[in-house]
Structure 1
């Protein structure tokens, strides 16, 4: 079977509204924290916008919410003191760790009845797809 597109998007639609249910009060904060972490040192609102596929103003509102909730701080960029950089707070790192743990547990639960070799192969394919897509 090579027609994986519809199945992939069925999964995306299914999980897009369920993935963070109960994890945090505002699930979009997890997205922002992951985007800042992925962007690396001196992450900016524009980096968050690119990571999440949003416009700058939408990303700015999400960053403001994550900052107000204590998951991010704004600081001077190390490479250019005129720029503002976004950094995870200890609470932001805790949230990131909890989100990754939940993601791993969910993967394990969804594939628990699969042979270990299938789970490992599928996980490898997911990583490959994410890397090649620039996600």
Structure 2
């Protein structure tokens, strides 16, 4: 499947309608933190909800990634909740090297495919290390 097809795929049901209880808890936790989280940090934050096994978190993250709701930031080995309006989009992570903030920016899927026109793209993860603003400081 091309990135364009992935980016254009419709979501038939509201955002949370198809999610399991564990998926909702993991997604809500990620969104609540508002920053990338490692799976074991998520596990610690969800223990009070009765989630005690690492595989429970990993399975939920896998399902959420398949649905486009979270993406893994490879360089951080952490997961990030994609804003609902960008779940179907190709994109790039802007990783501030000063304060650690992360922003997801939509990227035209056609542009990504044009980089390698004769090769199928199986997966794409674009991570740009930036300084988020001229006056950015460490938090």
Q: Do these two structures clear the TM 0.5 threshold for a shared fold by scoring above it?
A: no
Name the TM-score, length of structure 2 as normaliser.
0.41
Name the TM-score, length of structure 1 as normaliser.
0.42
Structure 1 or 2: more helix by fraction: 1
Rg (Cα) greater in structure: 1
Higher RCO (Cα < 8 Å, 6 or more apart)? 2
